[in-house]
Amino acid sequence: MRAHTLRGAFACTLSLAVAMGCQREHSDSARSVASTPAAAGAARALEQIDGRTPLPLLPMMAAHQKQNMREHLQAVQEMTAALAIGDFGGVKRAAARLGSSQQMTRMCEHLGARAPGFTETALRFHETADTIGVAADRQDRDAVLTALTRTLAACTGCHSTFKQRVVDEATWNALSAPARYVDGH
């Protein structure tokens, strides 16, 4: 329990720092769209149309998560560019950006702290991405493509399951943590 709390706090500080940078840049446009009744009604309508499972996130976490996602897509772009010219070193470097690491695990635990199943799905995805690097080491183009295909299936699988739900601090605190956080696992 304590280790999770500490790790969560670390990841949170990280996302705070990143997201505060973004917030400063966009604060004017944020003020103009925030909290008009029409905007709130439109957000409610979208919430009803989109039936995926909500991933509750504080605003800064939500901004950080989407930034992380765009970096994932960029890594895939770099990977296919490298594969096209037979640059297996480049494939391995790009794959490492999607692979498992302590920092990635901490971030996924933090982002999934109010969404049962999210962290597990995310960690399985990173483990699948690890297999791309293994195939690149063997300089096996077909195996790289197969591992990339399985990795992309993990991207699309999660996208069809979860949607972001941006919540305020009070709502966040009122939401219960998934069981693994309560019992310390």
Interface positions with ligand HEC (CB under 6 A)? 55, 66, 69-70, 72-73, 76, 98, 118, 121-122, 125, 151, 154-155, 158-159, 162-164
Nearer to ligand HEC, 118 or 181 (CB): 118
Closest CA to 155 of 56, 49, 72, 45: 72
- Min CB(69)–ligand HEC separation in Å: 3
Nearer to ligand HEC, 5 or 80 (CB): 80
Nearer to ligand HEC, 1 or 65 (CB): 65
- Min CB(56)–ligand HEC separation in Å: 11
Nearer to ligand HEC, 12 or 75 (CB): 75
- Min CB(123)–ligand HEC separation in Å: 8
Sign of CA dihedral 128, 134, 139, 142: negative
Closest CA to 15 of 76, 72, 60: 60
- Min CB(2)–ligand HEC separation in Å: 25
